Amino acid sequence: MKNSIFLISCLVPFLATVLTGCGERKLPEQVEQSIRPAKVVKVSISESPKRKVYVGRVEASNSIDLSFEVPGPLSRFPVLEGQTLRMGELIAELDPTDYELAVEEAELQLQLALQDYQRKSDILKKGGIAKSLVDDGRAFAQLQRVRLKKAREALADTRMIAPFDAYVSRRYVDNFVKTRVGDKIVRLNDLHELLVVVSIPEQMLSKVISNPQASLFAVFDFIPGKMFPLSYKENRGDANAIGQTYEVSLAMARPADWEILPGMTAVVVLQIEKSLEEKLEYILPINALVTESDKRMFVWLFDQDTQEVTKRYVKISVPGPEGVYVTDGLAEGDLVISSGASQLREGMKVRLLDEEFR
C-alpha cells in the first residue's frame, strides 16, 4: 500500500508536465506557395522580313569536256585538277612532228603547182598549149593551197587552249598517252557565272520565282559577314518524290576577291519582305509557346497589377531565325512569359526578372 502511494505521488508531477507541454504546442502555419521567377517579352509588330534558310551546293554554269580533233601522243599536259586557268592558256599539246612535216610537204606541193601553172600560162601566151591545160594547172594549184590550209589547221589542233577562264575539274588521261580523235582529255568549268543549286519545298517555290518581294543571298562559312546576291535562273520541272522539293538553280556572279569553286557548300537565305496584309504578325521566342495535348498552342500573359498569369491560345505562322510568327491571339503591348512557360499554371504568381517591367 505504501508502495502504491509512493508511485502515484511520483507520476503526478510527470503527468502535469506532459499535459502542460501539450497545451503549449502550436500547429504549423500554412506556408504560401513560392512565387516563380520569370522573364517576359513585350509583344510588338514584327516589321522585319521573313527569312528561310536552305543548304545548297555550288556548281559551274557551264561545264565542257575537251578532246583533240587530231590523233597523236600527248607531249605536254601541264594542268592539274583544281587549277584555275585564264583564257588562252595551254591545257595540253600533242607531239607536233608529223603535222609539221605535213605542213612542210603541203607548202612544197603548192610551190610546185604554182610554178607549173605559171609555166603553162607563159606558153599559152605564145600559142603553144591548149587553154584547158592552163585551167587544169590553175585548179591544181588551188587544190594544193586548200591542202596546205588543212595541214596548218591540223598542226594548230595539236595545241589545246582554254576557251575561257576556267576551272579544271577533271583530267581524264595522263601525259604521254596516245590519244584518238574524240577522246576526253580534260573537263573545264566556266567560272564567269556560278550556280547555287538548292532544294526548295513546293509551298515555297512560288516565293522564289518572279517574286519582287523575295531576295536571295548565298552565305559561306569561310567568308563571315558577307552575303552574295542570287537570282533565280531555272528549276527542275519534277518534284522529288520523297520530300516534295524542287531543285532550283540560282545564279551568282563570281566574286573577284574570293575563290568560290564548284562543289562548295553554300547556305541560301530566302528573305521575303512583308506585305501590307502581313503587318499584324507578332514574333515571339519559341520558349514562350506551350503545346497542349490536343496540339493547340498557348502562351502565358502576365498581369502587372495582380502579378498573375493567364492562358491565351494563339495561332502561329512559319518559324524563322528570329522566332515564331504569331498571327492571332495577341495584341500589341501584351506581356508574355518567355522562360519557364511549361512550368506555370493558371493564376500562378510570378516574379519578373526584367527590371523594365517590375
Mean predicted confidence (pLDDT) in 212-238: 89
List C-alpha distances in Å: 260 to 91, 164, 199, 256, 327: 22, 17, 20, 9, 40
Closest CA to 250 of 19, 36, 56: 56
d(CA 242, CA 264): 25
Stronger pLDDT, 51 or 116, i.e. the higher one: 116
pLDDT of residue 99: 97
List % helix, strand, coil for the chain (3-state, nearest 5): 25, 40, 35
Instruction: Reply yes or no on whether the pLDDT at 188 is more than 90.
Output: yes
pLDDT at 185: 97
323 in helix, strand or coil?
strand
Inform me whether the pLDDT recorded for 172 exceeds 90: yes
As a whole number, mean pLDDT of residues 5-9 equals 45
Contacts of 261 (CB under 8 A, 6+ apart): 58, 82, 167, 191
Contacts of 352 (CB under 8 A, 6+ apart): 37, 38, 39, 40, 302, 358
All domains of the chain in start order, with CATH: 38-47+278-357 (2.40.420.20), 52-60+192-275 (2.40.30.170), 96-157 (1.10.287.470)
Span 139-146, average pLDDT: 96
Q: Output DSSP code: residue 112.
A: H
pLDDT digits (tens, 9 = 90+) for 174-185: 999 999 999 999
**Residue-wise pLDDT tens digits, 79-112:** 999 898 999 999 999 999 999 999 999 999 999 9
pLDDT of residue 45: 66
| Strand-pair category, 350-352 with 36-38 | parallel
> For a pLDDT cut of 90, what percent of the chain falls above it?
44
Residue 115 has pLDDT above 90, yes or no: yes
The number of angstroms, rounded, from the C-alpha of 282 to the middle of its chain's C-alpha atoms is 28
C-alpha span between 191 and 255 (Å, rounded): 10
CB 188 within 8 A of CB 83: no
CA distance 339 to 358: 16
Enter the C-alpha cell of residue 201: 519545298
DSSP code string of 141-174: HHHHHHHHHHHHHHHHTTEEE-SSSEEEEEE-S-
323-338 pLDDT tens trace:
777 888 888 888 888 8
Q: Which of 32-46, 172-186, 262-276, 321-335 is least confident?
A: 32-46
Q: Which of 345, 347, 333 has its CA nearest to residue 40?
A: 333
> Does residue 14 surpass a pLDDT of 50?
no
Which range of 99-103, 208-212, 232-236 scores highest in mean pLDDT? It is 99-103
Whole-number average pLDDT of the chain? 83
Residue 45 is classified by DSSP as B
Mean per-residue pLDDT, 255-282 = 77
Distances in Å between the Cα of 9 and the Cα atoms of 5, 12, 17, 22, 285 are 6, 6, 14, 21, 77
